[in-house]
Chain A
Amino acid sequence: EDQVTQSPEALRLQEGESSSLNCSYTVSGLRGLFWYRQDPGKGPEFLFTLYSAGEEKEKERLKATLTKKESFLHITAPKPEDSATYLCAVQGATNAGKSTFGDGTTLTVKP
Chain B
Amino acid sequence: NAGVTQTPKFRVLKTGQSMTLLCAQDMNHEYMYWYRQDPGMGLRLIHYSVGEGTTAKGEVPDGYNVSRLKKQNFLLGLESAAPSQTSVYFCASHDAGSGANVLTFGAGSRLTVL
The answer to whether A binds B is: yes
Are B105 and A43 interface neighbours, CB within 8 A? yes
Within 8 A of B (CB), among A16-53: 31-32, 34, 36, 41-46, 49, 51
Give the complex CA separation of A99 and B108 in angstroms: 18
B48 touches A98 (CB 8 A): yes
Query: Contacts A97-B31, A97-B101, A98-B48 given: A87-B106 contact, CB under 8 Å?
Result: no
> Do A87 and B42 have beta carbons less than 8 Å apart?
yes
Asked if A78 CB lies within 8 Å of chain B CBs, one says: no
B 76-114 binary contact with A (CB < 8 Å = 1; else 0):
000000000000001010000001111111111000000
Q: Does B12 contact A (CB under 8 A)?
A: no
List, in ascending order, chain A residues with CB within 8 A of B4's CB: 43
Interface flag for A9 (CB, 8 Å): yes
Q: How many residues of A contact B (CB 8 A)?
A: 26
A-B contact pairs, 29 of them (CB 8 A): A9-B40, A31-B99, A31-B100, A32-B99, A34-B102, A36-B103, A41-B107, A42-B107, A42-B108, A43-B4, A43-B90, A43-B92, A43-B108, A44-B103, A44-B105, A46-B102, A46-B103, A49-B100, A49-B102, A87-B43, A89-B43, A91-B100, A91-B101, A97-B31, A98-B33, A98-B58, A99-B45, A101-B43, A103-B42
Q: Which positions in A face B, CB cutoff 8 Å?
A: 4, 6, 9, 31-32, 34, 36, 41-46, 49, 51, 87, 89, 91, 96-99, 101-104
